[in-house]
Every structure is written in structure tokens, then in C-alpha cells.
Amino acid sequence: MSKKTSLTMPVYENLLAHLVDFEERRSSIVNFYFPEFDKKREEFEQLIDGYISALDAVVKSILLSDKASNSFPFVCLNSEVEVEDIEEAETYNYKIIIPESNCSEDNCITILSPMGRALLCKKEGDVVSVNTPSGVYRYRIKSIKLR
């Protein structure tokens, strides 16, 4: 039996609204950002489909509590992720968003970015490698929270 995730009611309602909205807009998001039927589109579709399935499974097993820490079992959209750069031993905080989100914070990254893709659906303790134009960076996920 899988471990239950405990969330406050407002956070649960936001998560549920996000899931419904994202499922409804899945095709338009894919078509907008990946209009060509190529390998990049196929990889993004697989990532998104896996994300929706994982999110759907967790939503079905949520426990509601006024005292919940709102920790989440994997990185999802709108989650705040604390990561540690393995080589530099520095900690960073990111909020994972969809590209059309209005985020005025400096720490927002989209699921289209190398970091966003690497983090999506990963769990606390996982190590991710992020391929960027300036090289490959490795990060350990320290915590995942929803607000």
C-alpha cells in the first residue's frame, strides 16, 4: 500500500484544480510548444502523460489535515523544490511552472527548461542531471512542498 500524502484543504483544492485544468489543456499545450511531430514532441508527451498519471494516483490518496506540512511525494507544477548542487554543495529553491504562468519571482522555472524537465516527477532524495549549454550539473532534491 502506498504512503498517503497529507495536505491542507486549500492546497488540495489548488492541486485538484491544477490537475483538471492541465488534463483539459494537455493537447493544446503540446501543440503550442511542439507543433512538429518529432522526437522532442514525443518525449514531452511521454513526460506529460506520466506526470498526469502520477498526479492522478496521488490525488486519489490524499489525507486532509489542518496541520499538514504540504510536503509532496514528487515534483509537480506549482511545487517549491529545494535542491542541492552536488559539486558545489549550494542549495537553491525553485518553483516549477508552465511557461504561460505569470511568475514575478526570480526562482521560477518552466517545465520546458532543462532543469524543469529534469525535476518533474522526481522524488525527494533523487539525484538529477541537468544538461545545459554550459555543461552538466547534478542536483539532489532535498524537499518538495505545495503552497
User: 121 Cβ partners below 8 Å, 6+ apart?
Assistant: 47, 50, 51, 54, 74, 75, 76
Q: Are residues 92 and 142 in the same domain?
A: yes
From 62, 95, 68, 83, select the one nearest 125 (Cα to Cα): 83
From 10, 121, 18, 3, select the one nearest 62 (Cα to Cα): 3
Q: What confidence score (pLDDT) does residue 66 get?
A: 95
Q: Which domain holds residue 97?
A: 79-146
What's the whole-number mean pLDDT along residues 42-70? 95
- Phi/psi class of residue 125: alpha, beta or left (left: φ > 0; alpha: ψ in -120 to 50)? left
How many domains are there within the chain?
2
What's the whole-number mean pLDDT along residues 80-94? 96
**Is 72 among the domain residues?**
no
Q: Are residues 57 and 107 in the same domain?
A: no
pTM, two decimal places: 0.92
CA atoms lying within 13 Å on the CB side of residue 56: 10
Q: Are residues 101 and 53 in the same domain?
A: no
CATH number where 136 lies: 3.10.50.30
Which residue intervals of the chain are DSSP H helices? 9-33, 39-59, 114-119
**Is 73 among the domain residues?**
no
Grid coordinates of 50: 506520466
Q: Are residues 53 and 102 in the same domain?
A: no
What's the whole-number mean pLDDT along residues 1-28? 90
* More confident position, 52 or 106: 52
Do residues 77 and 94 touch, judged by C-beta distance below 8 A? no
Q: Are residues 60 and 84 in the same domain?
A: no
Q: Which residues pair with 85 in a beta bridge?
A: 90, 139
Strand, helix or coil at 87?
coil
Q: Are residues 84 and 140 in the same domain?
A: yes
Q: Are residues 101 and 132 in the same domain?
A: yes
Q: Are residues 39 and 88 in the same domain?
A: no
Q: Are residues 87 and 117 in the same domain?
A: yes
